[in-house]
Amino acid sequence: MRDSDDRPSTEPYSRLAVIGAGSWGCALASVLARSGRDVMLWARRPDLADAFNMTGQNPDYLPEIGMPLGIRATAVLGEALAGAEAVIIATPSKTLRDICGAMAPHIPAGIPVALACKGIERGTGYLLSEVVAEALPGHPVGAVSGPTFARETALDHPTAATVAFPFSYADRLAPNASPAARLAMSLSGGAFRPYVSDDLVGVEVGGAVKNVIAIACGIMTGAGFAENTRAALITRGIDEMKALAEALGGRRETVTGLAGAGDLTLTCSSTTSRNMSLGNQLGEGTPRADCFGGKPVVVEGEVNAVSVHDLARRIGVPMPICETVNAVLNEGADIETSFSALWKRPIEGEPRTLDLFLDHPEPTATLGFGARL
């Protein structure tokens, strides 16, 4: 093992653009600023950018938290991207292709682009990195992902996340100069601790699927079930993540890390997560239109339930939890009937190498939701 003094140094990016001034975009901008970086924060609305510049706070997202110095907001994409050495995109996944198209005239070739949004594009079945690669050719594309609630990150609570980029031959010869290492160093300030991965597929799959599993956990929690149920869904949800990641060329072990098991555990543990919160309200019997007090809240797991389900079906990967959530959200399926059917599926061997498939003795039994509501 080399002594730390002998390791090649890693140069952080000096100037970065964060595209998206929601909670997570603001949290990442605050991490970068605490690390000494010069940060431009793009907000879709000019009034939000103006308010941020005047008060140092985002009145719509994390309004009670003062942002550190070193962040300037703008509603002009060209201004946000001018001089940026790296870009982080933190917009909702469903707007990603449009955002990249708008960025294209303003971002020089070769500038690394890291995704801080999670999901799979509906219709194409593309991972979000594939969307960026198609809409913004000529850029290294990666992701920042992990168990990270925005408010806690903005408050500088100890937090860990994964920075993932595919490693080129040159990156493997000089990993300390890779985009992944440089972005990780750029985020290394205060209590934010990044780890580096070269398995972008595994990291992206973990981030996309965990939101759908969290809705399932929320539904069962809202229906009155407790820790046994949630632990079962988390564990089997990780198995679904592993299967999809492997089928797409990722590594199963990546899903056991921060961007998979870590993020899933956090998202399934608190109604601070919009995904868990939506599921909880549905499980309590609240109609979808009345969830979140009737406000139009974007829930990434709801957006991605269809795309995850469609992609899994297309490539032949069984994902019964995700299928159940999609059926409830998008096909009008009854919650009790659907989750009872999930629990009464044929009995399988847990290791995939064990070829075992047994009919369940009570295929039509229900879980007794009514007695718990």
Phi, psi of 115 (to 5 degrees): -90, 130
CA distance 302 to 119: 10
CA distance 274 to 13: 32
Residues forming beta bridges with residue 145, ordered by sequence position = 162
User: Six-digit token pair at 21?
Assistant: 């001034």
For 38, the 3-state DSSP assignment is: strand
Cβ count near 332 (within 10 Å): 7
Torsion-angle region of residue 187: left (phi > 0), alpha (psi -120 to 50) or beta?
alpha
For 222-277, the DSSP string reads: HTT--HHHHHHHHHHHHHHHHHHHHHTT--GGGGGSIIIIIHHHHHTS-TTSHHHH
Beta-sheet pairing, 113-115 with 15-19:
unpaired
Residues involved in catalysis: 210
- E strand spans, the chain: 15-19, 38-42, 71-74, 86-89, 113-115, 141-145, 159-164, 192-197, 347-348, 357-358
| Count of H-run helices and E-run strands, the chain | 16, 10
Closest CA to 302 of 314, 313, 289: 289
User: Six-digit token pair at 100?
Assistant: 């990249």
